[in-house]
């Protein structure tokens, strides 16, 4: 079905553009995430000093800063629609899977933008040892996709419950923990000159499994 395939690609693209535009109008989520990243980076590097020789601690800190800087904004993709009462309208123009794929791509983009600012700052502030860019970017990229895939789906679940804000962290962190653990160990191996491949394989496998499961699940997320 080439026609319907290109139709849903158009729908996904439209959703992605709509997300980018509504984020750009206020830049509320982006500003909050960047500010949080900057503040927590300052706090960490001020409290711990330069950690150039402790790459194990650095790897953990990097992912904790990235995770918490982006967590609240990632869940917001669907909460925004529910709070603005625009979910129903959105569902009239696109299928649940198209909406979710668009929002997932937006979340990947959002994470990437935050990382472009936060990662260089992190490397400078903490006096990190030189990175091997190939493995580092691979860990960052796969970690970003896995984080976005799981938090988009959990965000869609949480948006329909009542205690949204409080519940999101508690419910999404257990799903994100394997991602975080694999990404941290990959980053640590990158710095300690160990092979990164096992962690990359684990991250990639988990990301693919999450993506596949969430694409199957989105159609069942709302009542018919």
Which residues of this protein are in contact with other proteins, per CB under 8 A?
150, 153-154, 157, 160-163, 167, 170-171, 173-175, 177-178, 181, 185, 198, 202, 205-206, 209-210, 213-214, 217, 220-221, 223
Supply the minimum distance, in Å, between the C-beta of residue 25 and other proteins: 30
d(CA 217, CA 146) in angstroms, rounded, equals: 16
d(CA 114, CA 66) in angstroms, rounded, equals: 8
Supply the minimum distance, in Å, between the C-beta of residue 205 and other proteins: 7
What angle, 0 to 180 degrees and rounded to 10, lies between the N-to-C axes of helices 96-125 and 2-26? Answer: 50
Quickly list H helices, 27-86: 28-48, 55-83
Using the minimum distance from each CB to other proteins, give the nearer residue, 38 or 217. 217
Structure tokens at 126: 């903490």
Q: What is the dihedral of CA 144, 146, 150, 152, to 10 degrees?
A: 40
Supply the minimum distance, in Å, between the C-beta of residue 161 and other proteins: 5
Residue 172, H or E segment: helix 164-191
Structure tokens at 113: 């933008």
Supply the minimum distance, in Å, between the C-beta of residue 163 and other proteins: 5
Using the minimum distance from each CB to other proteins, give the nearer residue, 102 or 155. 155
Supply the minimum distance, in Å, between the C-beta of residue 215 and other proteins: 12
Supply the minimum distance, in Å, between the C-beta of residue 52 and other proteins: 25
Using the minimum distance from each CB to other proteins, give the nearer residue, 34 or 142. 142
Give the CB-side neighbour count of residue 100, counting CA atoms within 13 A: 26
Those residues whose C-beta lies under 8 Å from the C-beta of residue 18, and which sit 6 or more positions away, are 102
Which residues in 7-43 are b (16+ Cβ under 10 Å) and which e? ebeebbeebbebbeebbeeeeebbeebbebbbebbee
Supply the minimum distance, in Å, between the C-beta of residue 104 and other proteins: 14
């Amino acid at each position: 079905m080439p026609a319907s395939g290109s139709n849903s690609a158009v729908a996904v693209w439209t959703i992605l553009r709509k997300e980018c535009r509504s984020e750009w109008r206020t830049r509320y989520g982006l500003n909050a995430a960047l500010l949080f990243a900057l503040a927590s980076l300052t706090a960490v590097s001020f409290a711990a000093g330069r950690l150039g020789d402790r790459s194990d601690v650095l790897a953990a800190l990097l992912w904790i800063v990235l995770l918490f800087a982006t967590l609240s904004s990632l869940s917001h993709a669907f909460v925004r629609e529910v709070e603005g009462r625009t979910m129903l309208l959105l569902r009239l123009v696109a299928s649940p899977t198209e909406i979710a794929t668009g929002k997932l791509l937006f979340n990947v983009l959002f994470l990437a933008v935050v990382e472009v600012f936060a990662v260089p700052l992190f490397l400078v502030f903490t006096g990190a040892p030189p990175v091997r860019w190939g493995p580092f970017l691979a860990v960052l990229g796969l970690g970003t996709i896995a984080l976005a895939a799981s938090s988009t789906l959990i965000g869609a679940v949480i948006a329909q419950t009542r205690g949204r804000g409080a519940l999101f962290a508690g419910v999404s962190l257990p799903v994100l923990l394997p991602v975080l653990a694999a990404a941290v160990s990959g980053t640590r191996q990158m710095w300690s000159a160990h092979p990164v491949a096992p962690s990359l394989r684990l991250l990639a496998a988990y990301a693919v499994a999450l993506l596949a499961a969430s694409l199957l699940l989105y159609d069942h997320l709302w009542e018919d």
